[in-house]
Amino acid sequence: MMANLPFIMVALFIAIGLYAVLFKTNLIKIVMGISIIESAVNLFLIAGGYVKGGIAPIYTSAPEGEEMVLPTPQALTLTAIVIGLATTALLLSFVVLIYRHYGSIDSRKIRGLRE
Amino acid sequence: MRRAVSALLALLIFAYLFGVLLKAPIPGDYRDERYNYYSPLSGREANESVPDHYVERGEEETGSQNIVTSIVVLYRGFDTLGEVTVLFTAATGVAFLLSTQRSKGEKEKKKEPNFMASTGVGLVLPFILLVGAYIFVHGHLTPGGGFPGGAVIATGFVLMLVAYPRFQLREKKVSVVEAFSGLAFAVIGLISLIMGLTFLENYLPKGVAGTLLSAGIIPLIYIAIGFKVGSELSAIVSHMKGGEE
């Protein structure tokens, strides 16, 4: 049970992010919810590559004979973090555009089409 | 009502994921169950799963001490080229969205720089840039690499924007840096095609493992990525702040 804690935190973070995306009306908070879900997925990948008692996969002054954690999920997570950053920047700039156009970032007030 | 429905949906998803992930193998345990087999290709008994191959042979194959770096830059270098392209596309999108439609009357008053902030930034900025350069130059030896190093350099520009309200990024020069570093990445990859290797395969001597000038093309590629990421993130922040007048 306790050993599964990273996976349980993944489930919790995904639920929190989903709640924010579904319930919040402030667009910036929706973007934050999406970011939380992204972090949960990254945590899932990293936890999947963990090896019991493993050290970081770097040979510089590494202790002899220790097993290393799997490097592939870490490399993929690096990609995922950068792409998450890019999408978050793009989402936030859409929010800025919406604010300039409607004068509000409340998703209930920007439903109607406007000139 | 909406709160109840969204909370219910979130709870359902949580219960589902909880149930599934409780049955998943505990992180770190599953490797006890693996088995070794005789590999006819290498002529020895080994577990030839891909991550094990990277951990066991990555150092001798690439000369890089940091296995994650060797995966990101060499084994999956083409993937990283795509990743840099995604970042470039997003930075272009932010520039396009935020610089074309500037509404009038939104110009904030330019304040005088705060003395404390400007003095502090003047002291700290060179060290921030130095640390960023250190991180991406030593990407094959220590944790780090082009992406974190570039992000650290971009924080230096964010500090300048905070401390000097009139500070503006010279976006033309930044985009020149960005274009040339992206070009350098692609050209480094194309040279290996010219030399008869596969795209982004190492063609420089690997050098002595653990020294700065080792691991062939990895440091060159990470320097290019560091400059590219640093200039792109700085441009994104600058556009979000309001851009060039």
* pLDDT for the residue numbered A41: 92
Q: Is residue B24 part of a domain?
A: no
Determine contact: A115 vs chain B, CB below 8 A.
no
Lowest mean pLDDT among A75-79, B104-108, B163-167: B104-108
Q: Is residue B23 part of a domain?
A: no
Overall domain count for chain A: 1
pLDDT digits (tens, 9 = 90+) for A52-70: 777 888 887 777 777 778 8
Q: Is residue B172 part of a domain?
A: yes
Q: Predicted confidence band at B244 (pLDDT cuts at 50, 70, 90)?
A: low
Helices A27-48, A71-102: axis angle to 10 degrees equals: 180
Please compute the mean of the pLDDT values over residues B198-223 and round it to a whole number: 79
In angstroms, what is the C-alpha Rg of chain A? 19
pLDDT digits (tens, 9 = 90+) for B66-81: 888 888 888 888 888 8
The phi and psi torsions of B101 (rounded to 5 degrees) equal -110, 65
3-class state of residue B201 by DSSP: coil
Q: Is residue B54 part of a domain?
A: no
Residues of chain B with Cβ-Cβ distance to A78 below 8 Å are 68, 72, 145, 147
Q: Do A4 and B26 touch (CB under 8 A)?
A: yes
The structure tokens 């795209």 sit at: B199
Q: Is residue B58 part of a domain?
A: no
* pLDDT for the residue numbered B29: 63
For residues B54 and B75, the answer to whether their CB atoms sit within 8 Å is yes
Q: Predicted confidence band at B128 (pLDDT cuts at 50, 70, 90)?
A: very high
Pairwise CA distance, residues A25 & B77, whole Å: 40
Q: Do A52 and B51 touch (CB under 8 A)?
A: no
Q: Is residue A10 part of a domain?
A: yes
- Angle made by CA atoms B241, B243, B245, in degrees to the nearest 5: 130
Whether the pLDDT of residue B42 is over 80: the answer is: no
Compute the nearest-CA separation of A41 from chain B (Å): 12
Q: Is residue B41 part of a domain?
A: no
Whether the pLDDT of residue B46 is over 60: the answer is: no
Determine contact: A26 vs chain B, CB below 8 A.
no
ipTM here: 0.81
Q: Is residue B94 part of a domain?
A: yes
Determine contact: A91 vs chain B, CB below 8 A.
no
Q: Do A58 and B3 touch (CB under 8 A)?
A: no
* pLDDT for the residue numbered A38: 93
Q: Could you list the residue range(s) of the whole structural domain that residue A46 is in?
A: 2-51+68-102
Closest residue by Cα to residue A76 from A52, A51, A44, A54: A44
Whether the pLDDT of residue B59 is over 90: the answer is: no
Please compute the mean of the pLDDT values over residues B156-165 and round it to a whole number: 84
Lowest mean pLDDT among A11-25, B83-97, B103-117, B218-232: B103-117
Residues of chain B with Cβ-Cβ distance to A73 below 8 Å are 51
Q: Do A58 and B10 touch (CB under 8 A)?
A: no
Whether the pLDDT of residue B115 is over 90: the answer is: no
Compute the nearest-CA separation of A78 from chain B (Å): 8
Neighbours of A102 (CB within 10 A): 14
* pLDDT for the residue numbered A30: 92
Residue among A8, A19, A83 minimizing CB distance to B83: A83
CATH code of the domain in which A27 resides: 1.10.287.3510
Whether the pLDDT of residue A36 is over 90: the answer is: yes
Q: Is residue B148 part of a domain?
A: yes
Q: Is residue A22 part of a domain?
A: yes
Q: Is residue A60 part of a domain?
A: no
Please compute the mean of the pLDDT values over residues B7-17 and round it to a whole number: 88
CA B219, B88, B231, B188 dihedral sign is positive
Whether the pLDDT of residue A34 is over 90: the answer is: yes
More confident site: B208 or A84: A84
Q: Is residue A115 part of a domain?
A: no
Q: Could you list the residue range(s) of the whole structural domain that residue B170 is in?
A: 67-102+112-241
Residue among A60, A87, A97 minimizing CB distance to B90: A87
Pairwise CA distance, residues B143 & B135, whole Å: 8
Q: Do B51 and A70 touch (CB under 8 A)?
A: yes
Tell me the DSSP string of B136-147.
Answer: HHTTTTSS--HH
Overall domain count for chain B: 1
More confident site: A62 or B6: B6
Determine contact: A58 vs chain B, CB below 8 A.
yes
